[in-house]
Amino acid sequence: MSKHRYLPMTEQDEAEMLKTIGVGSVQELFADIPPSIRYSGVLPISGRLDESALLKHLRGLADRNADFERHACFLGAGLYDHHLPVVVNHVISRSEFYTAYTPYQPEISQGELQAIFEFQSYICELTGMKVANASMYDGATALAEAAALASGATKRKRVVVSRAVHPEAREILMTSARGLGLQVVEVGCRDGVTDLARLAEAVDDDTAAVLVQTPNFFGGLEDIRAIEPLVHARQSLLVMSVNPMSLGLLEAPGELGADIAVGDAQPLGIPASLGGPTCGFFAVSEPLMRRIPGRIVGQTTDRDGKRGFVLTLQAREQHIRREKATSNICSNQALMALSASVYLSVMGKAGLIEVARLNVRKSHYAAGRLASVPGVTLPFGAPFFNEFVVKLPAGTDVTALNAKLLQAGFIGGYDLGSAYPELEGHVLLAVTERRTKDEIDGFVRETEACL
């Protein structure tokens, strides 16, 4: 065996392997694939590079990204530029966490299991729910799983979802619904929040669940106190998708009567990383515990009375008969869940409240400043957390505006017209605790100059 174990395969290695399996060339391995569907050209990539040249090339590619360190970001729409305490990366970079995989053998995975247990505990504290699982892929898939759980629990095939829910989450819901045979009914919005009159009309005795997001995709806070009785009057389940950062100030889903609380933990110490990975959370009321997707880590004691951790519940098809499985989710985002746990432990209750307040104050300051720009208005009157919608002057090209802002060092907002045709010329802006007064004022000045 070569002493250089991690070098790429040599030509001699290739020849020896081909001889062992009895073929003369790599091309012969693919003889069963018709030549007409094989790619016969040369891939449009550079030639081989040495280590130094490769690193230089990759740095050049990375420098083309508009990152949060060189630009002030006002783009949210699901991923946010929040403060990341340096201790988060320090902890998750430890090899025992960074290289850990699924804890199939609990007796040798106690550290990983404890980290997951702490995450579950934090999510229950935040959401006010009784039980949380070990995490989901992201907030959008967690929402789709909530619809599946509700259908199984109620034996109904109809779910109602607000159009104020993130459009990509609704797309994932639609995709899952097709496979599960669910009917998805969308309810429109009024003044940036769910239209309660239309919601009341949409919910009937065949409705398994009502899915709402608060703060919703437009940043508005839904009136859950008014929505909850509409849902439970029909014995349907209330599913709330929430921004965990907002729970530093807002009432917890469990206190508002939610049956299922889901969301994305990205605001809690997880970098945006150009789109992921993130970490979804999923929490339920006690009656729904055995239907929860994924896995639950529990705390116990061994024969000597010492504290230990085990996989308490795994209602997935790898562990039980397929027809009894509640989900085909086969993994969880343990490393990202650990990031959220470290963040919450560092910030504490007081820190989370302070950060949430900063998000509210800075976003409202920015909204007020933008509303003073000629031709710019705030179209919705609903209360908001750290995101809000602005209406630009008629005829404004949002793409061109964002390109100009980028040249000036600002990452602009989300063009709502791309997902909501009726909101053409409207932009969704996010202002987190990371934005300074100078950055906000500079963004407003540059926006005004570009219009």
| pLDDT tens, residue by residue, 29-74 | 888 999 899 888 888 888 888 889 999 999 999 999 888 989 999 9
Query: Tell me, what's the pLDDT at 312?
Result: 85
Would you say 192 and 382 are in contact if contact means Cβ atoms under 8 Å apart? yes
Stated as kind and residue range, the H or E segment containing 17 is helix 11-21
Task: Please check the confidence at residue 15 and state whether its pLDDT lies above 80.
Answer: yes
User: Is the CA virtual torsion 19, 22, 23, 24 positive or negative?
Assistant: positive
Per residue in 364-391, pLDDT (tens digit) is 999 999 999 999 999 999 999 999 999 9
Of the chain, the end-to-end C-alpha distance in Å amounts to 66
Q: What's the pTM value of the predicted model, to 2 decimals? A: 0.89
Whether the pLDDT of residue 322 is over 70: the answer is no
Cis peptide before 293 (omega within 30 of 0): no
Rounded Cα–Cα distance for residues 90 and 86 (Å): 7
**Which two structure tokens, joined as six digits, stand for 204?**
């009937």
How far apart CA 211 and CA 168 sit, in angstroms, is 14
Residue type at position 1: M
Per-residue pLDDT at 370: 98
Judged against a pLDDT cut of 50, whether residue 1 lies above it is answered with no
Cα distances from 234 to residues 50, 90, 206, 229, in angstroms, run 66, 49, 8, 9
pLDDT tens-digit profile of 143-185?
Answer: 999 999 999 999 999 999 999 999 999 999 999 999 999 999 9
pLDDT of residue 318: 54
The pLDDT of residue 108 is: 80
On the CB side of 348, how many CA atoms lie within 13 Å of its CA? 2
- pLDDT by residue (tens digit) across 279-288? 999 999 999 9
Write down all domains in the chain, each with its CATH number in brackets.
Answer: 72-84+348-450 (3.90.1150.10), 86-343 (3.40.640.10)
Provide Rg for the chain, Cα atoms.
25
Cβ burial, residue 38 (10 Å; 0-12/13-18/19+): exposed
DSSP string, 104-129: SSGGG-HHHHHHHHHHHHHHHHHH--
Output DSSP code: residue 137: S
By percentage, how much of the chain surpasses pLDDT 90?
Answer: 79
- Tell me if 227 sits within 8 A of 209, measured CB to CB: no
Query: Between 314 and 377, whose confidence is greater?
Result: 377
Mean per-residue pLDDT, 294-306: 90
- Candidate from 64-78, 104-118, 283-297 with smallest mean pLDDT: 104-118
Q: How far is CA 7 from CA 1, 51, 55, 249, in A?
A: 12, 12, 17, 53
Dump pLDDT digits (tens) for 246-267: 999 999 999 999 999 999 999 9
pLDDT of 213 reads 98
Mean pLDDT of the chain: 93
Q: What's residue 331's pLDDT?
A: 73
Task: Specify the pLDDT at position 96.
Answer: 85
Indicate if the pLDDT at residue 219 is higher than 90: yes
**Phi-psi region at 276: left, alpha or beta (left = phi > 0; alpha = psi -120 to 50):** left
Q: Could you give the angle at which helices 437-450 and 334-371 cross, rounded to 10 degrees?
A: 60
pLDDT confidence bin for 106, thresholds 50/70/90: confident
Q: Is the confidence at residue 316, as pLDDT, over 60?
A: no
Q: Average pLDDT for residues 195-219, to the nearest whole number?
A: 98
